[in-house]
Structure 1
Amino acid sequence: MKPVFKHALPVQGGQRLSGKVAMVTGIGSGIGRACALLFSAQGARVIGCDIDADAAAQTVEDARTRGTEVDSLHPCDLTAPADVARLVDLAVARHGGLDVLVNAAAFGAFAWLQEMDYETQWRRTLTGELDIVFLVCKAAWPVLIARGGGSVINFASANAAVALEGSPALAHCAGKGGVLAMTRQLAMEGGPHGIRVNSISPALVETSATRAHMQVDPGFLETALRKLMIRRVGQPEDIAWCALFLASDEAAWITAADFPVDGGATAW
């Protein structure tokens, strides 16, 4: 069956996040970009960041073209505590606080065990998938508490639950499995403060990074599609709509949960 790539509900305007301040990391591309644009279209005041300054600036411009606004700190290295502090300070200075945190930024290196380098692939992946979540949550936590609570949305992966044949994702699996465990713990710690913490676990989503891999290795795409009940590759907007729900007051009694937005990949 020929894969369909473009079949996600597009960004639409509304007021589901009216009055909320949302910080979204990794707005330059993929899921982070989709969340920033959708949240701003749904009434949120969005503070974003990306290590890629040009990509972040393009998202800011795209929001402006659509009649909304996204503020951004770029370049911003989320592995550097000082940069993370600047990001949170920007949200406080511009909007007086923070209601929603979307930890969309991540980095992952993919290699088979025997070919994986410890420093530049294994450790860098764990830094890019675990440390970033820790550092941003730690910096944003007192601001969320002062606000009376809020919503934190982390991103795990279908790879935290199942192994995909042909995918050299060892470090990525470890990192995203850690995100699941961190989310449960953070939800417990945040509960008394009114902070809800949930995660979303996507399967294969078309981004600039995955698109390049699918072009190089068509066999990988075929294997991934066989795992999907809905036989198309996910789009960033598919994930952003779930994040919108978790950020909104509609999800007021949901915490410590993981949402597998994966076309059915982990159900069989």
Structure 2
Amino acid sequence: MGRLAGKIAFISGTGAGIGRAAALIFAAEGTEVFGCDIDEDSAAGNASALRNGPFGTTHAEDWCFTIKNELDIAYFCTQAASPHLIARGGGAVLNVASVAAVRGAPFMPMVPHGAAKGGVSAMSLHLCAAGAPHHIRANTIGAAFLCSDEAAFVNGADLMVDGGDSAMAG
């Protein structure tokens, strides 16, 4: 029996990448996984799609596309799951953010992506506050262990799993 036995997870972007890896790990740990993806051959993980470009020349369409596909999806999926989490007596929301939310990347222009993932991080903090009375925790990261009972005291965290890159000047 795994650490997530008896839990239910909805994971977006399960066709490939991080979403697929997360679904497989959750299932191996005993979770009943419900997954979705817009394209089973997609290279985007966690229902993410982005269009980056230099700040001064990024088109409005590219900005809106990235916000829609990285922030809006996280918001609306979580909003739809909220009544079910409340009815179950609580649960854990795990959103995938990015180091781009807290640090600029001089080697690659990522303003739309960084803004969207910054929104995901901020949204998770607000979910932490809104969910607390219902025993719903919210975190941002890319690791399944934060949904286990072993992490019951982890709430409102924005953990960067990036090999220490976010801690180093670049």
TM-score range, shorter chain: over 0.9
**Correspondence for 2:41:** 55
State how far apart, in whole Å, the 2-side matches of 1:264 and 1:138 are.
32
Moved over 6 A (4+): none
> Could you list the runs of 5+ residues in structure 2 that have no partner in the other structure?
none
TM-score, normalising length: structure 1: 0.60
Asked if 1:175 is matched to 2:138, the reply is no
Asked if 1:260 is matched to 2:160, the reply is yes
Task: Tell me the secondary structure at the aligned position of residue 46 of structure 1.
Answer: strand
> Could you list the runs of 5+ residues in structure 1 that have no partner in the other structure?
1-13, 57-102, 201-238
Task: Tell me the secondary structure at the aligned position of residue 107 of structure 1.
Answer: coil
- Sequence identity percentage: 47
State how far apart, in whole Å, the 1-side matches of 2:8 and 2:103 are.
35
State how far apart, in whole Å, the 2-side matches of 1:47 and 1:249 are.
20
* 1:113 equivalent among 55, 77, 80: 55
Alignment of 1:87-106 (within 5 A): 104-106=46-48
State how far apart, in whole Å, the 2-side matches of 1:105 and 1:196 are.
21
* 2:10 equivalent among 8, 20, 23: 23
**Correspondence for 2:127:** 186
Asked if 1:130 is matched to 2:116, the reply is no
Asked if 1:162 is matched to 2:62, the reply is no
1:148 Cα offset (Å):
0.4
Paired letter, 1:45: E
Residue deviations 1:151-209, cap 9 Å, x none? 10011111111112221101011111111111100110000000000001xxxxxxxxx
1:21 Cα offset (Å):
1.1
Paired letter, 2:73: I
**Correspondence for 1:220:** none
Paired letter, 1:126: I
Paired letter, 1:37: L
Alignment of 1:189-208 (within 5 A): 189-200=130-141
1:104 Cα offset (Å):
2.6
**Correspondence for 1:148:** 89
Given that residues 38 and 47 in structure 2 are in contact (C-alpha distance below 8 angstroms), is that contact kept between their aligned partners in structure 1? no
State how far apart, in whole Å, the 2-side matches of 1:266 and 1:30 are.
21
State how far apart, in whole Å, the 1-side matches of 2:158 and 2:90 are.
19
Task: Tell me the secondary structure at the aligned position of residue 37 of structure 1.
Answer: helix
Asked if 1:139 is matched to 2:80, the reply is yes
State how far apart, in whole Å, the 2-side matches of 1:180 and 1:114 are.
24
TM-score, normalising length: structure 2: 0.93
State how far apart, in whole Å, the 1-side matches of 2:55 and 2:104 are.
14
Paired letter, 1:182: M
Paired letter, 1:194: H
State how far apart, in whole Å, the 1-side matches of 2:144 and 2:54 are.
35
**Correspondence for 2:147:** 247
Task: Tell me the secondary structure at the aligned position of residue 165 of structure 2.
Answer: coil
